[in-house]
Amino acid sequence: MDNPAEKNQGYSFRLVNIDCLRTSTDFNVIMELEESIEDLLPYLAASLPGCSYVHGSGVIDLMDAGHIVGIYPDRITITSVRSGEEAAFLCRSYFDKIRQVRADRNSIQPVYAARPTLTLLDILRVLPKTNCGACESPTCIAFAARVFRREAPLSLCPSFLEQREAHTALLEKMASCGYPFP
């Protein structure tokens, strides 16, 4: 079931039920842009840490605090939004980012080649797999998922911190994908 569209200058958005999870209390957001941003996609990709973008594909994908975000020339989709207020905040943030990139376009090096990608398994491989809970997650895989979704820093794992030097390749890959160094 669609909620009425919220209208703002330059875009409108609506909340839609998550079709595959009819009992979910979360929504997905469809943000319709009044003007195409197709020409800005390579510049946005350069400005959004950890995004996935292949020039010519017409879409930027990224994880943002547990939300899967898709940026297309005419719309932005955002998953797992809990309320209209959260949707309005996220839409405003992304629209502000578009405005900023448009204004700073001449000083941004656009992305035309695929960047390295990071997977949840890349993160899980460096964790102790003891499910100790020191990271405030019940299991190491749950913690790896939180790190992957950018909800927790890898530095919350004491075991990882003790062996940090042994995992420089992962840390470099995380940095190239826009994750902060722990």
Rounded Cα gap, residues 170 and 30, in angstroms: 34
The count of other CB atoms within 10 Å of the CB of residue 162 is: 10
Cα-to-chain-centroid distance, residue 81: 13
Cα 160 to its chain centre, rounded Å, is: 23
- Domain ranges, residue 68: 6-107
Last residue of a domain, one of 107, 130, 154: 107
Output the tens digit of pLDDT for each of the chain's 182 residues. 344 455 558 999 999 887 666 666 788 999 999 999 999 999 999 998 878 888 888 999 988 888 899 999 999 999 989 999 999 999 999 999 999 999 999 999 998 877 777 888 999 999 999 999 999 999 999 999 989 888 889 999 999 888 888 888 888 888 877 777 66
Q: Phi and psi of 8, rounded to 5°?
A: -135, 170
Looking at the fold, whether 20 and 53 belong to one and the same domain comes out as yes
What's the predicted TM-score (pTM) here?
0.71
Please tell me whether residues 75 and 21 are part of one structural domain: yes
- Residue 49: exposed, middle, or buried by beta-carbon count in 10 A (0-12, 13-18, 19+)? middle
Q: What is the DSSP letter of 3?
A: P
